[in-house]
Structure 1
């Protein structure tokens, strides 16, 4: 017999390709409620055929927090546990039992592991904590985009970790994210003291090549007294550096990367950025030093700020190239071999490995 009454709720639009896979898993819940925000495909019919309760809502102007709050408002009051779960996200089977095993009447929210992306062989390569399981009352979604669950209940918030609970993300990469920038600008106008919103906006400006806007916004973020998380501050510094690099100001880029390394020396990303800058400048001793320092770091922090290039073949590739130009052919070959093994279909890496091998033979002639 189930210990608690559980509802899965979601928002969706034109996601017919995900319906069956999603419903196969969320059907462990007592009720599945979906707010459709304007699908023109068969999403609604497929959801209803699989037993979901679907509400149709038009949200204009669009904002994610409003959509999710409307979806939450459709949840019956007698529900004990609410699970916010998008259609491109899939829990591993048995998720309900895992939540119920740690839930208690005084629990307000649960945290679990979220797999954002995967290697070619299906191995998770970016995972971090998610916390979208919550009690029925005391929560509202806030912010037009990159929305978060804010607690305003009368009792003290009590969060639990759910061992073994993993949510997998399989996004539709064809969907546009062009709406993110104006929504982030709106979010900052509404919440000018939100340091996280300022960081996300500065990062988004970088994605859109609005380099000066990105630099000034991220500097504002760094100047805020609430901006204390070293890993996020490091990311802001390296994004500023990347903007200066794109502007052709390599000296300023290098200065910001030294700041980023000093701010958070236990993540690979600032060393990678510095190695990439050294590659552009053909500063092979710098590339060699930075790749060596990065590869000393063996463990991921579990942060959403992890960048996949820091953990794929890239550092080994750069190390191979720098050692080659420094005349260290044996070391170059070892790095090139590792890079090629990590990306087996990469013809450039195979070609480099062959050239380095030939040079190594010639040098030992």
Structure 2
């Protein structure tokens, strides 16, 4: 017997290709609520045929928080637990039991693992904790984009981690993200003191190659009193460095990368960024030093800022190249072999290892 009444709610627009997969995953819930915001395909019909309660409403001007709040309003008032997810996201089977086993009446929201991206073989590429499961009452969504749940209930906030509950993200990459930038600008305009929104806006400017706007915004982020999370501050500095590098101001790029390392020395990302910059400058001692320091870090924070490249072949590849140029061929071979083991189908890595081994054989023959 189920212990709680659980409702899943979502927003949709032109998601017909993902409806069956999503409904299969959320079918463990007692009810499935969807607010469709203007589909022109068969999304609404397919959802209804699979048993979802679908409401239709156009949100103008568009804001994600308004849309999600409209959807949440449709959830049964006697629901114990609300589960918000998108139609391009899939829970692993058995998620309901895991949630019910962990949830207690005093809990206000639940945290679980969110797999943001996958490798070609469907293995995990990037993952981090998520918390979009919550009580029916006392919550609302805020911010036009990158919206979050705000709690205003009478009880004290109490979050629970749900072991084994995993949500996978399979994004529709055909959909543009052009709406994100103006919505982030609006978010910062509405609350200039919001450090997270300011950081995301600066990062978005970088993605759009608006490098000067990105630098200005990220510097504002660093000055906000609430911007205290060192890993995010380090990322802000790293992105500033990337923008300066794109603007061909290498002295500033190097300076900001060293600041990024100093801000949060226990993550690999800034070391990899500085190693890559050293590679461009053919500064092999710098590359080698950064590789060694990064590889000494053996535990990832697991935050949304973790870059999978920092935990893949890249550092070993740079280690192989830098030590080759420094004449440390045994080390170069070891790094190259490790890089290839992490990306065994990469032809460049194969060729690099073969080149290093050939160089070692030549030197051995000369010694003889």
TM-score normalized by the length of structure 1: 0.98
Once the 2 structures are TM-superposed, how far is the Cα of residue 103 of structure 1 from its aligned partner?
A: 1.8
- In 1, Cα distance between equivalents of 2:176 and 2:353: 38
Q: Deviations over 1:144-186 (max 9, x none)?
A: 1100001111221111111111111111122211111110000
Q: Secondary structure at the match of 2:166?
A: strand
Q: Deviations over 1:279-313 (max 9, x none)?
A: 01100000011011111111110100011211111
Structural mapping, 1:176-325, within 5 Å: 176-325=176-325
Q: Secondary structure at the match of 1:165?
A: strand
Structural mapping, 1:119-198, within 5 Å: 119-198=119-198
- In 2, Cα distance between equivalents of 1:219 and 1:360: 48
Once the 2 structures are TM-superposed, how far is the Cα of residue 354 of structure 1 from its aligned partner?
A: 1.6
- In 1, Cα distance between equivalents of 2:286 and 2:51: 59
Residue 68 (structure 2) aligns with: 68
- In 2, Cα distance between equivalents of 1:47 and 1:7: 15
Q: Secondary structure at the match of 1:298?
A: coil
Once the 2 structures are TM-superposed, how far is the Cα of residue 39 of structure 1 from its aligned partner?
A: 1.3
Q: Deviations over 1:336-355 (max 9, x none)?
A: 12212211222211222221
- In 2, Cα distance between equivalents of 1:241 and 1:291: 18
Question: Which segment drifts farther, 311-320 or 118-127?
Answer: 118-127
Once the 2 structures are TM-superposed, how far is the Cα of residue 119 of structure 1 from its aligned partner?
A: 3.1
- In 1, Cα distance between equivalents of 2:114 and 2:32: 21
Once the 2 structures are TM-superposed, how far is the Cα of residue 12 of structure 1 from its aligned partner?
A: 1.1
- In 2, Cα distance between equivalents of 1:230 and 1:308: 19
Once the 2 structures are TM-superposed, how far is the Cα of residue 59 of structure 1 from its aligned partner?
A: 1.0
Once the 2 structures are TM-superposed, how far is the Cα of residue 188 of structure 1 from its aligned partner?
A: 0.4
Q: Deviations over 1:199-257 (max 9, x none)?
A: 00111111111111111111111111111100000000100111111111111111111
Once the 2 structures are TM-superposed, how far is the Cα of residue 114 of structure 1 from its aligned partner?
A: 0.9
Q: Secondary structure at the match of 1:276?
A: helix
Residue 54 (structure 2) aligns with: 54
Once the 2 structures are TM-superposed, how far is the Cα of residue 125 of structure 1 from its aligned partner?
A: 2.9
Q: Secondary structure at the match of 1:78?
A: coil
- In 2, Cα distance between equivalents of 1:121 and 1:324: 32
Q: Deviations over 1:103-158 (max 9, x none)?
A: 22222111111111223333323221110111111111000110000111122111
* Structure 2 unaligned residues grouped into runs of 5+: none
Q: Secondary structure at the match of 1:267?
A: coil
- In 1, Cα distance between equivalents of 2:206 and 2:266: 24
- In 2, Cα distance between equivalents of 1:296 and 1:42: 52
- In 1, Cα distance between equivalents of 2:363 and 2:254: 34
- In 1, Cα distance between equivalents of 2:30 and 2:233: 42
- In 2, Cα distance between equivalents of 1:331 and 1:316: 10
Q: Secondary structure at the match of 1:71?
A: helix
- In 2, Cα distance between equivalents of 1:361 and 1:251: 40
Residue 23 (structure 1) aligns with: 23
- Residue-pair matches, total: 365
Residue 359 (structure 1) aligns with: 359
Once the 2 structures are TM-superposed, how far is the Cα of residue 18 of structure 1 from its aligned partner?
A: 1.1
* Structure 1 unaligned residues grouped into runs of 5+: none
Once the 2 structures are TM-superposed, how far is the Cα of residue 329 of structure 1 from its aligned partner?
A: 1.7
- In 2, Cα distance between equivalents of 1:177 and 1:321: 37
Q: Secondary structure at the match of 2:228?
A: coil
Q: Deviations over 1:18-64 (max 9, x none)?
A: 11111112111110011111111221111111111111111111111
